[in-house]
Amino acid sequence: MAVHLVCEGFRGGLDERVLDAVVIQYHHLPVLMAPSGGSSALGAVRAYLRSRSASDVAVAVEDRDHRPLAEANARWANQTGRAFMWRRHEIENFLLHPRVVLALFNELRALPGLAWASGLPATEADVDALFQTLAAPLLADHAAEVLRDELVRQINAVGSVSFGIPRPAPPAGAHVPGATQWLTTLILEATRLRQTCTAVAGLHPLQGNAITARYNGLVGQYQRPAFLSSGDYLRDMGGHELLAALSRHLHSLGAGARLNQQVLSDELLRVLDRIYQPNILFQPDDFAELAAILAQY
């Protein structure tokens, strides 16, 4: 029996390297990584791996993105589904724990010739304060992304608004559909699409005043001091965007291209791999829970 861990990203990408370091290697698990390239292919990759052998197991984990935290919690509660969702926005968010970033800053301060590093935050609280400053300009954008996800979900709940025409079955004794079958199929699909569009157009959340009210409410929610001071922003906001903001900040201090976003993520992963301990940095610890699930097989 082979156990596969399916993740987002490509072979050698950040998702695979983080999971290999702090889940598979840390816990000495005989698990094979299977990057899917993107979230839309997770299910297909899992199905393919399972189809090769009835005894094989394929466990998947995907980014939460802007979906509600409750949805991720529900996935972890249903371990039989073997399809999990990070409680944090995406893999980058795990690299941005203030203790991980502080450890990297301490290393940079100790290196000779990096005068710009002397002014980096020297405590976890100071790192968190820096991140709050970097996150503040991104809050309105975060609210818009959350609202966009909500609207897409509400539209999809009504039905597909794409014109997807299944190939009709041929009549008895024929090898291809005839004119009658095709006309019936085309008319039925067009009717369904018109009905779906009418239903979508009538959705209250899609009206301009409702969108304005919801967006302003979300902006107000995220701009409250508690969203930042609680640390929820490091869990819910886009880690990719926060990492980019940190890279720009370090560049402005004098780091230059030596700590661009790619290099910075690599360095933070190296530090995370060095200091990670289950249920210490992250609570709840998705990595530890995932390792325990994989170890069952």
Whether the predicted pLDDT of 55 surpasses 80: yes
Whether the predicted pLDDT of 237 surpasses 90: yes
Report if residue 171 sits inside a domain: yes
Per-residue confidence (pLDDT) for residue 51, from 0 to 100: 86
SS (H, E, C) the chain: CCEEEEECCCCCCHHHHHHHHHHHHHHCCCEEEEECCCHHHHHHHHHHHHHHCCCCEEEEEECCCCCCHHHHHHHHHCHHHCEEECCCCCHHHHHCCHHHHHHHHHHHHHCCCCHHHHHCCCCHHHHHHHHHHHHHHHHHHHHHHHHHHHHHHHHHHHCCCCCCCCCCCCCCCCCCCCHHHHHHHHHHHHHHHHHHHHHHHCCHHHCHHHHHHHHHHHHHHHHCHHHHHCCHHHHHCCHHHHHHHHHHHHHHHCCHHHHCHHHHHHHHHHHHHHHCCCCCCCCCCHHHHHHHHHHCC
102 and 233 within one domain: yes
217 and 106 within one domain: yes
8 Å CB contact between 202 and 194: no
Structural domain harbouring 64: 3-92+282-295
Per-residue confidence (pLDDT) for residue 163, from 0 to 100: 84
Residues 101-134 pLDDT 10s: 999 999 999 999 999 999 999 999 999 999 999 9
Average pLDDT, the chain: 95
80 and 59 within one domain: yes
Q: Which residues of 200-236 are buried (b: 16+ CB within 10 A; e: fewer)?
A: beeeeeeeeeeeeebbeebbeebeeeebbeeeebbbb
- Pairwise CA distance, residues 255 & 267, whole Å: 14
Whether the predicted pLDDT of 287 surpasses 90: yes
107 and 75 within one domain: no
Strand 31-35, strand 3-7: pairing: parallel
Per-residue confidence (pLDDT) for residue 136, from 0 to 100: 97
102 and 88 within one domain: no
- Pairwise CA distance, residues 73 & 88, whole Å: 11
- Pairwise CA distance, residues 69 & 63, whole Å: 11
- Pairwise CA distance, residues 222 & 214, whole Å: 12
135 and 77 within one domain: no
C-alpha torsion angle, residues 57, 61, 62, 66 (rounded to 10):
140
Residues 80-94 pLDDT 10s: 889 999 999 999 999
Whether the predicted pLDDT of 244 surpasses 90: yes
Report if residue 207 sits inside a domain: yes
153 and 209 within one domain: yes
- Pairwise CA distance, residues 56 & 22, whole Å: 23
8 Å CB contact between 70 and 93: no
Whether the predicted pLDDT of 32 surpasses 80: yes
Report if residue 273 sits inside a domain: no
Q: How many domains does the chain have?
A: 2
- Pairwise CA distance, residues 263 & 269, whole Å: 10
Angle CA 207–193–178, to nearest 5: 170
108 and 86 within one domain: no
